[in-house]
Structure formats: structure tokens, C-alpha cells
Amino acid sequence: MSLSVRFNNIVKDFGPVRVLHGVDFALKPGRVVGLLGENGAGKSTLMKILAGYERVTAGQLLIDGVPRHFADAREAEKLGISLIHQEFNLAEHLTIAQNIFLGHEKTRGLLLDREAMSREAATYLAQVGLDVDPDTRVSELIVAEKQLVEIAKALSRKARLLIMDEPTASLSPGETVRLFELMSRLKSEGVTIVYISHKLDEMEAHTDEVVVMRDGSFVTRAATADVDRRQMANLMVGRDVSDMFPPKKYVTPDAPALLRVTDLIVPGWVENLSFEVRAGEILGFAGLVGAGRTEAFEALLGLRKKSAGLVELEGRAVDIRDPRDAMELGFTYLSEDRKGKGLHVDLGLRENLTMMTLEKYAHPWLDLNAGRAALDKAIHDFGIRLRDRDCAARSLSGGNQQKLALAKYLHSNPRVIVLDEPTRGVDVGAKRDIYALIHRLAAEGRAVVVISSELIELIGLSHRVAVLHGGHLQAMLGPDQLTEENLIAHATNTHHS
């Protein structure tokens, strides 16, 4: 029942730009294959070809020895190939059940059988552990829930080959564990799985084999048992990447608090949250999905209603109605929902970069040259990898979209910076660049808040970490309390001191 797949010299051009340069390797059936590569290496593009979302420019795709040219994803699905998209591919205005059965609607006679679809959708949601009514509109879901719906949708297609493109990027630890259980069940049923992730510990623990791509080509493959994390990182980047985190700079005791929040209440999410971040400080925020971290900062930015709370920026009480207000006060927030809130993916890179600070470029007509120069600088400073400066943000790889979003939100030169999952979907090399950038921002005397689900990242970066649980500040951990055990214990409220 397993599928065998062979990529035969696959070439892919987007217009004048070649992104796959003759990729050549086979996927062994019935195994979990990890696909590794830096941002922009071509992983998603290759998998979209396999799943019928993109067509090859040259080369051949062999499925069970037969050459195939899929006209669309449905043809690939008919053979049992299913892709869980990195950038979700859900129709926001439809319900969960409608999304799951989109193009595969169940009918009774001539009518849609909504009840049967909702019922069956519920069983897939249960398998991925999403406890939400299948008739909920997708637009009402948070990022992690959308990811789980993507997975449920793939399950409903009964794939023989399942491609997961960074499925855990936005999942909580509990949801991640459940996903891996699901993965090993599917594997035992003979499903071949291609697993893409920048989380190398997951690669180590859950794949049988890793395949490495670099710059649009196949580089090497290895049995997972034969390589460790460090070697995987070096293979993808093609150079040594140790020392992910720069040494922490000491925050002087007299450094002023740039952001102070007192007794913030966000109905349904956050209760009496108080904290401060000082100039030069990196404050981490840990907690499970739903702990209220994102909601707290959305409320501070005026994106969500708060019922109480005093907010002071550089010692002055402020009233922030929306993110533009905040930006004018030197306070910026990069949302975790990159596609939904961070970037306008249909616009160009320059438009995205300068959109929030347009005044700077209007004298009074729009100074395009200055905008272009700013883009060049951002591409350089943030290490954005692209082939074409005039493309839409949509055509950047996932990790490079994240770097563009960072550049966009830092473009206004803020004093207080909140980064929500800043390295989600970013490869090891680029991660190290972003960590160095965060340190530089702090060293320049700004206050930085990092919300992250990666404990190693919080520990490696932060001076202190605030741990939220169920909307409460469970602990504020100082430098010598920053261990994974401590963070997990407080985040799950199982700490006994």
C-alpha cells in the first residue's frame, strides 16, 4: 500500500528564476523521511510538485515507477498523495467541516449531507486533538487551531503518502506530542511520510532518514541514527553553526523601565498581569498555547479589548488605541500570525517594508528610490534570501517572509519591541542571525519582549522569563532559574517549591 516516489532531475523555474536545479533522489516507501534545508532551499516547492500544486519545468516524477504529471492537487490525491501546507491553505470564510470536505463534499441524493460531514469532521478533529465545533468558521480560529485543521483535512484524504510541511511550527508541546503519536500510527499503517521542520530535535527523534537540500539541489541523505543535530545543521548550511546564542549582556540595575504594565485584565484571557521591561533587557514570555501571552500583547496594542490595566512607556502613562498609535510612541509588536497580520502577502517587498512608515517617504510625493534603498538595506541586514526584488511577499519562502516581517516592524526604529514567535519556520543559520539581531537591539538600549514556544530559545536569549498559565503570571524567572524543567513546571502549573 505504500507509495514509492522518484524525483528524476526535477527542474523548476518561476518566470526567469530557477529554484530547483535538477533534484534527483527517491523516497523509500513506508518510512518517515525528514527533509532538511535552509530557508529558500526549495523544500516546499519540491513537495508542491509532488502533491500536484506546482508543475515541473523539466524532469520527471515517478510514482510506483510510472511517470506522472499532475494537473492539480486532486489528481495527486487520487493516487493517495496529500500535502499539509506550511502556509495554510484554508478558506477563512468557510467552516472547519466545509474546509475538510472542500472538493470532496458528501452528498445525499442531490443535496449536500452537512450532518454527515460535520460528524465525520468531528472524528478527524478528535484524532488531532482539536476540541472545537466543526461548524466554526476558520477565520475565528487561532494559528495553532488552523494548523490542526490542516492536519485533520489531510487525514480525511486517507493518504498513502503524507507530506507535512512544518506542521509543528505553531503547535504547543502537548499538540506536538499528539501529532507524533499520529505520525507513528500512520507509519505503522504503511503510510510514507515526508516531514519538513527546522526543529532538529524533532528530526532526530521522529524520522528514519534525513534528506538534505541546499540551493535547489539534493545534497545528501543519511540514516537518522547516523547523524546528530549538530551534523544535520552543518549539512544544511554547508558550514559550522555552533554558538547559536550570543553571550548575554548584563543589564545595569539603574536601567529605566521602558515598558511597565500594571494589573492588565483582558476578559477571558488575562488576569492582573504586571511586569516591566528595562532598557537593554530581553524579557521572555513562556506558556502553553492559550496561556494568554499573545492576547496580553494584543490588548496592549489596542487589537483586543482590555478592561483594566495601566500601561507606561518610558515612565509616562499612555492610552494606546491601535498599533499605529503604539508605533508613534515607539512601541511595536510583530504578530505570530505572519500571513494574517504581519505581512500583506500580495503586495511587493518594498510596499510591505515601508507601509507603516510611509510619511518618511513622502516629500510630499512618494520617494521610491529611498524606499528601494531601504529595501536593499533590509535585505542585507536581515539576510533575506530572494531572487527577485520586485516579487510579491507571497513568493518568498516561509522563513524569508518571517525575516521581511521583522524588517517591517523594526523599520520605525521602536524603543520597545515585542516579537511573537520571531523564529517560527526559520532555519538554523537564519535563527542565529535573528538572535544576534535581538541582542543588538537590546544592546542599543531598547527593551525587547520575546514570546516563544521554544524553551531553548527563551533560555538562550532572555535575561528573565515570565511564565503565564491560564492568564496568570505564574512565575518571573531570573537568570539562575532558567532551566527547561522549571519553565515546563510553571507553564503546566505542576511546580512545587
**Which residues of the chain form contacts with Mg ion (CB under 5 A)?**
44, 86, 398
Nearer to ligand ATP by C-beta: 19 or 97?
19
With cell 528595562, the residue in question is 278
Q: What is the amino acid identity at position 486?
A: N
| N-term to C-term CA, the chain | 53
Query: 404 near 384, Cβ under 8 Å?
Result: yes
Length of the chain: 497
Closest C-alpha to 340, from 389, 371, 294, 279: 294
- In the complex with ligand ATP, which residue's Cβ is closer, 30 or 40? 40
Q: How far is the CB of 428 from ligand ATP (least distance, A)?
A: 11
* Contact in structure between 434 and 426 (CB atoms under 8 Å): yes
Instruction: Compare residues 85 and 278 and give the one whose CB is closer to Mg ion.
Output: 85
d(CA 90, CA 150): 7
Task: Give, for 116, the enclosing helix (H) or strand (E).
Answer: helix 114-128
CA geometry: angle 454, 457, 461, nearest 5 deg: 150
Question: What is the distance between the alpha carbons of residues 80 and 74, in angstroms, rounded to a whole number?
Answer: 10
Q: Which does 37 bind (CB under 5 to 8 A by kind): ligand ATP, Mg ion, none?
A: ligand ATP
Minimum CB–partner distance for residue 324 and ligand ATP (Å): 29
The answer to whether 444 and 413 have CB atoms below 8 angstroms apart is: no
Nearer CB in complex with ligand ATP: 8/395: 395
Least separation in angstroms between CB 168 and ligand ATP:
14
Minimum CB separation from Mg ion for residue 403, in Å? 13
Nearest distance from C-beta of residue 39 to Mg ion, angstroms: 7
**CB nearer ligand ATP, residue 17 or residue 308:** 17
Q: Which does 19 bind (CB under 5 to 8 A by kind): ligand ATP, Mg ion, none?
A: ligand ATP
Q: How far is the CB of 145 from ligand ATP (least distance, A)?
A: 21
What grid cell was written down for 78?
A: 487520487
- Type of residue at 251: V
41 binds, among ligand ATP, Mg ion, none (CB under 5 to 8 A by kind): ligand ATP
Which one, of 400, 418, 238, lies nearest residue 320 by Cα? Answer: 418
CB of 356 to ligand ATP, least distance (A): 23
- With 0-12 CB in 10 A as exposed, 13-18 as middle and 19+ as buried, what is 497? exposed
Binding site for ligand ATP (CB under 6 A): 14, 17, 19, 37, 39-45, 86, 386-387, 391, 395-400, 427
Question: Judged by CB, which is closer to ligand ATP: 114, or 387?
Answer: 387
Contact partner at residue 134 from Mg ion, ligand ATP, none, CB < 5 to 8 Å by partner kind: none
Q: Which is nearer to Mg ion, 398 or 471 (CB)?
A: 398
Work out what residue 396 binds among ligand ATP, Mg ion, none; the CB cut-off runs from 5 to 8 Å by kind. Answer: ligand ATP
User: What residues form DSSP beta bridges with 159?
Assistant: none
Looking at the Cβ atoms of 87 and 120, the one nearer to ligand ATP is: 87
Q: Distance between CA atoms of 404 and 284, rounded to whole angstroms?
A: 22
Phi, psi of 377 (to 5 degrees): -65, -45
Supply the minimum distance, in Å, between the C-beta of residue 86 and Mg ion: 5
Nearer to ligand ATP, 14 or 245 (CB): 14
Closest distance of CB 239 from Mg ion, Å = 21
Q: Which residues pair with 277 in a beta bridge?
A: 259
Name the grid cell of 74.
486532486
Angle between helices 143-156 and 114-128 (to 10 degrees): 110
Closer residue to ligand ATP (CB): 280 or 399: 399
Residues 6+ apart with CB under 8 A from 48: 54, 83
Shortest Å, Cβ 338 to ligand ATP: 11
Which one of Mg ion, ligand ATP, none interacts with residue 304, CB within 5 to 8 A by kind?
Answer: none
- Rounded least distance, CB 211 to Mg ion, Å: 14
Among the residues of 207-322, which ranges form H helices? 229-237, 293-300
Question: Could you tell me where the beta strands, DSSP code E, fall in 197-341?
Answer: 209-214, 217-223, 257-266, 270-278, 282-286, 308-313, 316-317, 331-334
Cβ atoms of 433 and 375 within 8 Å: the answer is: no
| Cβ-count burial 159-170 (b if 16+ within 10 Å, e if not) | bbbbbbbbbbbb
Output 212 or 419, the one with its CB closest to ligand ATP.
Answer: 212
